[in-house]
Amino acid sequence: MLDTLTRLRTLEPNTDNGLYQTLLESTLAIPFRIDWASKKYTYVGPQIEPLLGWSPESWQTVDDWVARIHPDDRERTVTRCVELSIAGVDHEAEYRALTSDNSFIWVREVVHVLSDEHGQTSALIGFTFDISKQKKSEQMLEAQKLSNVRLQERLNLTHDLHDGLGGALVHMIALVEQGNEVLAKPQVLSMLKLIRNDLRLTIDTNTSTQVRVPESLQDWVAPLRHRFNNLFDVLGITCHWQFAQNWRTPPNAYQYLAMSRLIEEALTNVIKHSKARQVRLCLVQPEPDALVLEIEDDGIGFDVPAVKASGLGIGMHSMAVRIARVGGVLNIDSRPGCTLLTVRLALSQPS
């Protein structure tokens, strides 16, 4: 009786297609055919049973198909398939299918829409493929990517702590150890505030999805200017700030944080190493899709190639890498009496 039922449910029951059906049933893919008017299966390949545990005879109507789709995938899958079938468009669908032991496996269906002489949908024929191994590999790859992202975040945090907070602490310790006079309260407060602000920026840099880009260049520069001018005043350094008032094109959150970190680090390096008395910071947008930063000081300077070759320029390297990650290029020229740091950052214009 079972054999009779299977024979009746062929892909083309009115034709002699025994060889065709044998070939179909010898593949790993599961062939099927659905009559569109009645919404009934006229054929399901026997391969369905080893895969899902359901016998071919248990697939009577499309309601059986719908009931065996994972609840989280059901509405999306069914809605899309019905809309495309009515429109006469061939399509594919990936979803989790219910097995007879109440577990789920991932499958992909490739559907070809048949139409009658009037262009109306008459039947659906297609194949169902087991893609559970592929999905498992994709999930493992995603997990690996997530692990790599977290590792990169830790490395970024390590660099930021070294280049920012670590540098600030070294500078403060040096001031205390090497100074001949007792530090006044304003000096101590300025140093502590610099460390606090640097720690805040480090935290912000590693939670960039929660950061909002300031409304204007002026809003961005103002807190930086206030923060460093307090310290510069205590140390007897004059700083000239030049910047446009408004954005022509704003940076994204990652670019804003990377540039903020670089400005913090560069100005801290001026304090730590340059022995400068004059500093100039210029931040402008010469073109709508570019942001250019210049930080210049009149300090003792240093040999840039020699520092890079010696492996001592870890801070310089991390600055260049950080800015390159967000589409920028860093250049440093230095000689006695003038060190110039230049960054050119490419911005995306709004469409």
What digits encode the pLDDT tens for the residues 100-150? 999 999 999 999 999 999 899 999 999 999 999 988 888 888 778 767 766
* pLDDT in the model for residue 162: 60
**Most trustworthy range by pLDDT among 14-18, 234-238, 310-314, 346-350:** 234-238
pLDDT at residue 332 is higher than 90: yes
* pLDDT in the model for residue 290: 93
* pLDDT in the model for residue 17: 58
* pLDDT in the model for residue 13: 45
Residues forming a β-bridge with 106: 96
Same fold, 2-130 and 137-346: no
* pLDDT in the model for residue 346: 94
Contact (CB, 8 A) for 211 and 257:
yes
pLDDT at residue 5 is higher than 50: no
Residue ranges covered by each domain of the chain: 2-130, 137-346
Q: Which residue has the higher pLDDT, 80 or 147?
A: 80
3-state helix/strand/coil string of the chain = CHHHHHHHCCCCCCCCCHHHHHHHCCCCCEEEEEECCCCEEEEECCCHHHHHCCCHHHCCEHHHHHHCECHHHHHHHHHHHHHHHHCCCCEEEEEEEECCCCCEEEEEEEEEEEECCCCCEEEEEEEEEECHHHHHHHHHHHHHHHHHHHHHHHHHHHHHHHHHHHHHHHHHHHHHHHCCCCCCHHHHHHHHHHHHHHHHHHHHHCCHHHCCCCCCHHHHHHHHHHHHHHHHHHHCCEEEEEECCCCCCCCCHHHHHHHHHHHHHHHHHHHHHHCCCEEEEEEECCCCCEEEEEEEECCCCCCHHHHHHHCCCHHHHHHHHHHHHCCEEEEEEEECCEEEEEEEEECCCCC
Confidence of residue 245 (pLDDT cuts 50, 70, 90): confident
* pLDDT in the model for residue 342: 97
* pLDDT in the model for residue 53: 94
CATH class of 137-346: alpha beta
Q: Which residue has the higher pLDDT, 28 or 5?
A: 28
Task: Report the mean per-residue pLDDT for the chain.
Answer: 81
pLDDT at residue 295 is higher than 60: yes
Q: Which residue has the higher pLDDT, 5 or 217?
A: 217
Largest Cα–Cα distance in the chain?
105
Residues 6+ apart with CB under 8 A from 262: 293, 319, 322, 323, 330, 343
pLDDT at residue 6 is higher than 50: no
* pLDDT in the model for residue 150: 67
* pLDDT in the model for residue 190: 62
Confidence of residue 253 (pLDDT cuts 50, 70, 90): confident
Residues 6+ apart with CB under 8 A from 137: none
CATH tag for 2-130 (out of 3.20.20.150, 3.40.640.10, 1.10.3720.10, 3.30.450.20): 3.30.450.20
Q: What is the dihedral of CA 32, 35, 41, 43, to 10 degrees?
A: -50
Q: Which residue has the higher pLDDT, 26 or 78?
A: 78
Average pLDDT over residues 6-22: 49
Q: What is the pLDDT of residues 157-208, one digit of tens each?
A: 666 666 556 655 665 665 566 556 666 666 666 666 666 666 665 665 555 4
Q: Which of 33-42, 79-88, 116-125, 144-153 has the lowest mean pLDDT?
A: 144-153
